[in-house]
Amino acid sequence: MMKNILVPVDGSEGADRAIEQAVTLAKICGAKLNFLYVANINQLAINAVLSDAILDSVTKAGNVVLDRAMEMVPEGIEKESFSDTG
């Protein structure tokens, strides 16, 4: 059986449906849910020096998405969240 389920999230309706399916699967398998949010930083931003304000804004947006995903999981299911930029 699965021990971990990786669920990429972006705040979209499609991601919400993926969370619902992952919750169902986690209940069946007794698996842990791992939510991942990757902030989309376009090529121009990668080539520039990102200011602390921009990085802070991106981090806060990701935290909102991850917090919402975590709230969709009923008690009794192990869960964790991660974020990155890319």
| Strands of the sheet with 32-39, listed across from one edge | 4-8, 32-39, 79-85
pLDDT tens per residue, range 8-23: 999 999 999 999 999 9
pLDDT tens per residue, range 27-54: 999 999 999 999 877 654 655 666 777 7
Q: How many C-beta neighbours within 10 Å does residue 37 have?
A: 23
**What is the residue range of 34's domain?**
4-85
CA 75 to chain centre: 18
- Say how many domains are in the chain: 1
Give the model's pLDDT for residue 58. Answer: 82
Could you tell me the CATH number of the domain that includes residue 11?
3.40.50.620
pLDDT tens per residue, range 50-81: 677 777 888 899 999 999 999 999 999 999 99
Please state the pTM of the whole predicted model. Answer: 0.86
Q: Which pairs count as long-range contacts for 23-26, CB under 8 Å and 24+ apart, including other chains?
A: 23/72, 23/73, 23/74, 23/77, 26/73, 26/77
